[in-house]
Structure 1
Amino acid sequence: MATTRTLLFRRISAALLVMLLVLLGSCEDQVPLVLWTHQWTPQANQPLPAAGHIVGQQQLTSYLDKTLHTGPRNVLLFLQDKMSVEDFTLYGGAFGNKQDSVFPNLESALRSSSSSLVLPTVSWPGSNAMIGLLQEQLETSPLYMDPDTLSQLTLNASSPALLVFRLPYYIGSDLMSAKEVLSGNDEVIGQVVSVMKSQSVPYTAIYTALRPSRGSPSLSMEAALVGGRSLLQARGGYRDRERERERQGKMKEKAGVYAPVEFKEGDSGCMLLWAKGLSVSILRSGRWESHDLTPSTFGEGVRPKLHGSSCDKTKARLALNYENILGHRNFKLIFAMSQRHYTVSARRWFTLDAVELEYDGTKATFNGSRNIYAPAEYSYRCKSISSFQWPQLVPHSSKDPANQWRLAFEDFQIQGFNVSGSKFSYASDCAGFFSPGIWMGLMTSLLMVLVLTYGLHMIMQLHTMDRFDDPKGPAISVPQTD
């Protein structure tokens, strides 16, 4: 009987241990969220969650819906890579009251806001999907900005806008590194808020992160609550899973996060396009208005419309279709390519003949055939392609509408012929052979060769004397003449 009771007690203890580990593990998957509005009628106070309650994605959507329904629809999203409540309690900020706070601009914005909302514990999968949630609420595409480009953007209180500011995070052996990074992020927040105040545009600001930066302090109580070797093993297994998940996340980021845009003719691939950033700008009233096409072109679950695309053995045309871009309802970004045999090189080459913009019956054409080309069996890749700084794309003529547009492609790669599967062929990079380092080495070598040549020339000009004075023989007499 005693053995049965002991076995039952052990099973109950094991079940409680598993439940405790699950609860403690879930406490780690949370990030804080700070929301405030400015220059707007205060919204109705929303009920805050109970202490210790973790706000899930559905409840977070409800908060955003109520805020954007009554508040400004120009949204500033400050999205940090990692963040936890401990970042505020350790360095001061919105949740603390320290004189040496590294968040003076954030605290000032909260004090001067018409309404604010602080959620210390938000499930990080919900914050990770913040861009998608706001995009659904505002029905507009996000613009990835920085404080310098924000001053060139004209906002309107009547039309919604989603401006995303990515902020870094670093935590290592030196805690001052994290403090300096957080202080720099606070300065970015202050710069953005100052620009918005200068434009007198009402806005809603959100400060959160993609995932937590550190574990919950409650995990350190595991050894005090329950002892035993099995608990240490369970904790180690949990840590191993966390490390494996982080490793897989790094591998995913290293792989490029998203797949290239692929156009197929039948069952075989025909064209591939990939870029880290695609953006277009138009000149209006003396100012450039920009739009980032990257979220609408690439990403998980994103499938851009490719109506108007075609390809054959000599011509390829990739058309990306968008809606509501910079005030144009129907907008197309078209890459026109061709390939042919060149007798001088005895091989086939493909060129990006033109990049076209079609919008509301108007066509703007940029010529790229002089600078963008590669062997027909290769793909073409370039770190940066633009039409305004060291332009590889130039307007077709001085009267072409392309003179009112700017194109900027970051980490750009394209292939229009000889595509095998869904992977790019070997890339022909646009980087020139004579880089600055090579030029410095060549100039230094040339200078050394010149010095050596001059030295050899001087040595070859030396001559010995015809006669020498012998001290043991008769002295050399030099006749003197009057």
Structure 2
Amino acid sequence: MATTRTLPLHRITAGLLVLQLVLLGSCEEQVPLVLWTHQWTPQGNQLPPAAGHIVERQQLADYLDKMLTTGPRNVLLFLQDKMSVEDFTLYGGAFGNKQDSVFPNLENALRSSSSKLVLPAVSWPASNEVIGHLQEQLETSPIYLDPDMLSQLTLNASSPALLVFRLPYYIGSDLISAKEVLSGNDEVIGQVMSVMKGQSVPYTAIYTALQPSRGASSDSMEAIMAGGRSLLQARGGYRDRERANERQRKMREKAGVYAPVEFKEGENSCIILWAKGLSVSILRSGRWETHDLTPSTFGEGVSPKLHGSSCDKTKARLALNYENVLGHRNFKLIFALSQRHYKVSARRWFTLDAVELEYDGTKATFNGSRNIYAPAEYSYRCESVSSFRWPQLVPRSSKDPANQWRVSFEDFQIQGFNVSGGKFSYASDCAGFFSPGIWMGLMTSLLMVLVLTYGLHMIMQLHTMDRFDDPKGPAISVPQTE
């Protein structure tokens, strides 16, 4: 990584604006990555890529490996939901007006750093693997923090740490909202830099995103060249962004399909688990603190530790081992399953008996056997499994430590028996047959049947007269009584 003379952010973003012209010809979406270090003298130069070059997985891994080999191993990862080069060119003072920049803290960090690297175009599937690659190289689990929580954490220069700060992004019909969000994210970076300055611990900081914030189009580029004033008036601008966002969503869904966690007993697959999201929360001082376990469990290059897992013909136990989860150094998430034959249905069923959390010698147990079950030869799948909001998992007792915890699994699927080839069997879905739409249809049909029945009953009560007035015969006389 090359040490270059310090440039203000508006000079860097001016260069990024030129690079954007070259990148418009590429069909793949990219995200920028900015890396800087504190108290580090590089032992080898590492030049940034040529203008217009897109950094793919292997090249990005080489950059990160070089950084971890020669630089500080306390890594601060500012991971924004979405970001594009246009965010710097639009809001980073790229047009010569330094006071318009919404990144003053990032600019100061780059100015004061001993070495920096700016990658304007990183393939966003590669940026999604940054956490996994850093975790593998540092041999430590990521710790998700807020700036306020960082001051309570003591870092050691000799012990590696991976601290992740998630930053939001929003863009809609009002571009001012995006500018305000980016300004708020820059303030978060400034707060973290202030805390790190007080601790006097060398660190490496990375600022990147999971996916692009907008598609590159000629309309948006014309707006940038015009100083941003004509962006709202560009014909088809919103439609182009909507189509680009839809393409990004489809690409993200395609790239987000990762292999399930698989536990083998010998050469045979025994238990497999997949989820779009795994998270746990603990109640502290009246607030719920949440930790996302998904990046440490799934993804390319991620191999969770499964010691403590076991399985046989009637019982299965999958233990996922983590480090530094919500202040607990050793943390386990355990799924306990069992199967047996039921005479009433004349077949075998398996149940998720319990979900256990083990930490610092304490065990919190959630019971799931009443709600989570499936035929033994099937897998179980549910869009959402949680201990709150229509809970399928409930604490085993009122005194169980699980009452201080929440667990949430999104798009959850598990199979602990009859696994073949490391793939899920047919899924028994948790969705009930009687959905709200079906209930509405049944109630409407029942109401109409009741109305029809009442009408038929009224018609059946009608009676005709047994005598009629004949004009050729004697008139009908009705005697009157007093």
Answer with 1 or 2: which has the greater Rg: 1
Pairing 1:94–2:92 present: yes
C-alpha distance 342-182 of structure 1, shift in aligned 2 (>3 A): farther
What TM-score, normalized by structure 2, do the two folds share?
0.68
Is the 1:36–1:206 contact (alpha carbons within 8 Å) kept by the matching residues of 2?
A: yes
> Structure 1's 206 and 182: CA in aligned 2 closer, same or farther, altered over 3 A?
farther
Deviations 1:243-269 (A, max 9, x none): xxx999958834852111111111111
Indicate if the aligned counterparts of 1:264 and 1:270 stay in contact, CA closer than 8 A.
yes
Q: 2: distance between equivalents of 1:351 and 1:334? A: 14
Q: TM-score scaled to structure 1, two decimals?
A: 0.68
State the alpha-carbon separation in 2 of the partners of residues 137 and 312 from structure 1.
35
CA distance in 2, matches of 1:358, 1:417: 24
How many residues in Structure 1 have an aligned counterpart in Structure 2? 404
Equivalent residue number for residue 165 of structure 2: 163
Map residues 70-149 of structure 1 onto 2, 5 A cutoff.
75-80=77-82, 83-85=84-86, 92-94=90-92, 107-110=101-104, 114-115=108-109, 119=118, 121-124=120-123, 127-132=127-132, 141-142=141-142
Distance 1:119 1:199, change over 3 A: closer
Find the aligned partners of 1:352 and 1:393 in 2 and give their Cα distance. Answer: 10
Equivalent-residue separation in structure 1 for 2:304 and 2:436 (angstroms): 39
Structure 1 partner of 2:32: 33
**Is structure 2 residue 346 aligned with structure 1 residue 346?**
yes
**Aligned to 2:457, what secondary structure does the other structure show?**
helix
Q: Alpha-carbon deviation of 1:455?
A: 0.3
CA 1:164–1:364: 2 relative to 1, 3 Å? same
**In 1, Cα distance between equivalents of 2:61 and 2:371:** 50
Q: Is the 8 A contact 2:365 2:396 kept in 1?
A: yes
Contact in 1 for aligned 2:367/2:393 (Cα 8 Å) = yes
* Aligned position for 1:478: 478
Question: 1:233 aligns to what?
Answer: none
**1:60 to partner: Cα distance:** 6.3
Structure 1 counterpart of 2:91, one-letter code: G
Paired residue for 1:280?
280
Q: Structure 2 vs 1, CA of residues 452 and 412 (structure 1 numbering), >3 Å: closer, same or farther?
A: same
Distance 1:166 1:127 in 2: 16
SS state of the match for residue 432, structure 1?
Answer: coil
Q: Within 5 Å, which residues of 2 pair with 1:16-27?
A: none
SS of equivalent to 1:108: coil
CA displacement, residues 306-332 of structure 1 (integer Å, 9 cap, x when unaligned): 111111111111111112222222211
Give the match for residue 9 of structure 1: none
Report if aligned partners of 1:135, 1:162 keep a CA contact under 8 Å in 2: no
1:284 offset after TM fit, Å?
Answer: 2.2
Contact 1:331 1:358 in 2 (8 A): yes
Equivalent residue number for residue 411 of structure 2 = 411
Q: Alpha carbons of 1:382 and 1:181: their partners in 2 closer, same or farther (altered >3 Å)?
A: farther
The AA in structure 2 aligned to 1:465 is M
Which residue type is aligned with residue 173 of structure 2?
A: E
Q: Kindly provide the amino acid, as one letter, of the partner of residue 433 in structure 1.
A: F
Cα distance in 1 between the residues matched to 2:147 and 2:108: 23
Task: State the match for 1:8 in structure 2.
Answer: none
1:326 maps to 326
Contact 1:77–1:163 (8 Å) recurs in 2: yes
Q: Equivalent residues in 2 for 1:73-472 (5 A)?
A: 75-80=77-82, 83-85=84-86, 92-94=90-92, 107-110=101-104, 114-115=108-109, 119=118, 121-124=120-123, 127-132=127-132, 141-142=141-142, 156=152, 158=154, 161-165=163-167, 180=173, 185-186=178-179, 188-189=181-182, 202=195, 206=207, 208=209, 210=211, 253-254=253-254, 257-472=257-472
> What's the RMSD between the two structures over aligned residues?
4.7
What's the CA shift for 1:133? 6.2
Distance 1:24 1:108 in 2: 25
The alpha-carbon distance between structure 1 residues 188 and 462, as it changes in their structure 2 partners (threshold 3 A), is: farther
1:364 deviates by: 1.4
Unaligned ranges ≥5, structure 2: 1-20, 112-116, 156-161, 197-204, 222-245
Question: 2: CA distance between counterparts of 1:419 and 1:209?
Answer: 33
User: How far does residue 83 in structure 1 lie from its aligned partner after superposition?
Assistant: 3.3
Q: Distance between the aligned counterparts of 2:425 and 2:139, measured in 1?
A: 37
For residue 231 of structure 1, what is the aligned residue in structure 2? none
CA distance in 1, matches of 2:417, 2:62: 48
Q: Which runs of 5+ in 1 are unaligned?
A: 1-22, 169-177, 221-245
Name whichever of 197-206 and 269-278 sits farther off: 197-206
